[in-house]
Amino acid sequence: MLREEVSIQLRRILNSAPIMNSSVLTQFLNFVVSETLAGRSDSLKEYTIGVQALKKDADFNPQIDSIVRIHAGRLRRALKEYYYELGQNDPIIIDIPKGSYTPLFTFKSDKDMMVLTDQSQEEFTGNALDTEIASPPATPVITLLEKPTIEVLPFKNITSQKEVQFFARGLTEYMSAELTHFRNVRVITPDREQPSNTRDFVLTGSVQWVTGRIRAWVHLTHFATQEQVWAQTFERHISFESYWEFQEEIVNQVLAEIMGLYGVISNFYVNKIDNARPEERTAYPLHYWHFHLIKNFDLPTLQRAKQAYGDIVRNDPNNALAYAYLSQVCSGEKALVNMGFERGLDDGLAYGQLSLKRDPLCQEAYKALAINQLMRNHFKDAAQLLEQGIRINPKSNDYKAYMGATLIYCGFYDRGKEVLDEAFARDPYLPWWQVLAFGYYAFNREHYQDAIFWIERIEVTSEKISLLRAASYAYLENYSMAFDVLSLERQELLTEQLLDLDRLNSLFTPHTFALQVREGLKKLIQHQATGVFGMTLMLLVPFIFC
């Protein structure tokens, strides 16, 4: 019982900002606590921590290199900060007293302090991070909303031109046919005998011909409330012989704006839940937790999503879309934990395969498997999966944006940029990580001012974004801005091993991109080495650049 409670407390701390934002502190704390829980506290010496936790070479000499002592001091300060704010109500205090690397565990209820011994660890099996984070206690069954239904009514011809009637009829048929390729909605045909409660949205419009120009109005109405939730006007000067191109333009734009994770229909249901009182939240759309995870991309949101989709597939094992979302959550966990988390990738792969097995036409499953392969650095496999998935529904702008960004992160810059540009042209309101892909592309092409432009449009903050932005400023020789971005003390910047390639490879893909980021950061360190702390830092630089 003691082991389980301490492991839970460890995970709370590892998921908090003071620790989570530093891979070094995460590895340090996880190692010393796990070794203590395993009854190996006697082995917690500077050399062992340096080699096994901080990944120093076997010839690491703690008498010359004080890196372990420095990070131990930083870890003690981070723990103090955590318990002063976020952890003030936690049941267990984890502390590392000065003069020792063995953590002490104090239960606040009785203030009994303990150092775990071999005898207290009969059941402990390994690293605390190996305990599945998202295996929560059983929760009530989540009630899901049914897939929303869309009725496409015939577009009206409001002119006397017979050719416009053909245009309107073709537009109706084309719109209805393409909507059926989206697995998260149901499309119904107009039927006067159909009960009113079988439709959630009505999509229709009018077409007009005026002196050589065709104008089309399209609007989406929520049937129960008769609220017009979206509308758009399209107009073009064309001949009747080429009006099919205009039909294509209208259908593509309508689908881009009303469908997808951040489309009008999705936002309608998410906003309805978020604006409701807790007692009114009786049913949820399936995409609800995935929506918030992509928007916020933090560990608390990820854990809620993982729990929700885990509960859903346990109660509905044939729900292909829920398996796909669960796969994406598990694979994305590695990016947030910011260290080795192969269990999550294995789970993500299995859930993605289960999704495809239940529905071979589930595009979300292809996205899930592609991101899983990206996290494994299997870039060609990721690209192949994305190309396969786009064939299922080429008009999904949501998929195209996802595909374009992922291809850029895989190192297929030109193809990724081409696809991402097409998606962006139809819907400029992309999730932050897809906007960041534009910054990736610009950085790779050495257009560093453009890279900064895209990066600074992102509201999400992370070590990855800060390093990329700082490296961009460094390449532009704007060193003061680079240091401001990092928000680190200059001395700490060096001791954090800013240029550690293993760490950069865990943040950036592919390897050549990580090297490019490293060269930018190297310029920053070299500039600092010749600055205010010139002599001291010049002595340190050779060790940092190894």
pLDDT tens string, the chain, 546 residues long: the values are 467 788 888 888 888 866 877 788 888 999 999 888 888 888 888 889 989 988 888 888 887 777 888 888 788 888 887 876 778 788 888 888 877 888 888 876 544 444 444 434 433 333 333 333 333 334 456 889 999 999 999 999 998 888 888 899 999 999 999 999 998 899 987 765 555 567 899 999 999 988 778 999 999 999 999 999 999 999 988 776 678 889 999 999 999 999 999 999 999 999 999 999 888 888 999 999 999 999 888 878 888 999 999 999 999 999 999 999 999 999 988 777 654 556 789 999 999 999 999 999 999 999 999 999 999 999 999 999 999 999 999 999 999 999 999 999 999 999 999 999 999 999 999 999 999 999 999 999 999 999 999 999 998 878 889 899 999 999 999 998 998 887 643 444 443 567 888 889 988 999 999 999 999 999 988 887 776 444 444 444 444 444
Asked if residue 367 and residue 291 are part of one domain, the reply reads yes
SS3 (DSSP) at 376: coil
Asked if residue 400 and residue 282 are part of one domain, the reply reads yes
Which residues, in sequence order, are bridge partners of residue 150?
A: 187, 201
Asked if residue 153 and residue 123 are part of one domain, the reply reads no
Is residue 140, in this structure, part of any structural domain at all? no
CATH number at residue 429: 1.25.40.10
Asked if residue 430 and residue 391 are part of one domain, the reply reads yes
CB atoms within 10 A of CB 189: 9
Domain boundary among 258, 285, 314: 258
How is 11-63 classified by DSSP, letter by letter? Answer: HHHHTSHHHHT-HHHHHHHHHHHHHHHTT-GGG--HHHIIIIIS---TT--TT
Asked if residue 467 and residue 420 are part of one domain, the reply reads no
Cα–Cα distance between 166 and 174 in angstroms, integer? 12
Asked if residue 115 and residue 28 are part of one domain, the reply reads yes
199, 207 Cβ separation under 8 angstroms: no
Is residue 139, in this structure, part of any structural domain at all? no
- Locate 543 and state its tokens: 């060790």
Asked if residue 407 and residue 283 are part of one domain, the reply reads yes
Domain boundary among 130, 159, 188: 130
Dihedrals φ, ψ of 120, to 5°? Answer: -90, 5
- Note down the domain range covering 325: 272-449
Q: Which residues contact 372 (CB under 8 A, 6 or more apart)?
A: 327, 331, 345, 348, 349, 352
Work out how many domains the chain is built from and give that number.
Answer: 4
Asked if residue 443 and residue 364 are part of one domain, the reply reads yes
Is residue 63, in this structure, part of any structural domain at all? yes
Is residue 484, in this structure, part of any structural domain at all? yes
CATH number at residue 222: 3.40.50.10070
Asked if residue 312 and residue 393 are part of one domain, the reply reads yes
- Cα angle value 14/18/19 (rounded, 5°): 35
Is residue 137, in this structure, part of any structural domain at all? no
Is residue 465, in this structure, part of any structural domain at all? yes
Asked if residue 242 and residue 99 are part of one domain, the reply reads no
Is residue 454, in this structure, part of any structural domain at all? no
Is residue 514, in this structure, part of any structural domain at all? yes
Domain boundary among 258, 280, 295: 258
Asked if residue 117 and residue 10 are part of one domain, the reply reads yes
Asked if residue 473 and residue 331 are part of one domain, the reply reads no
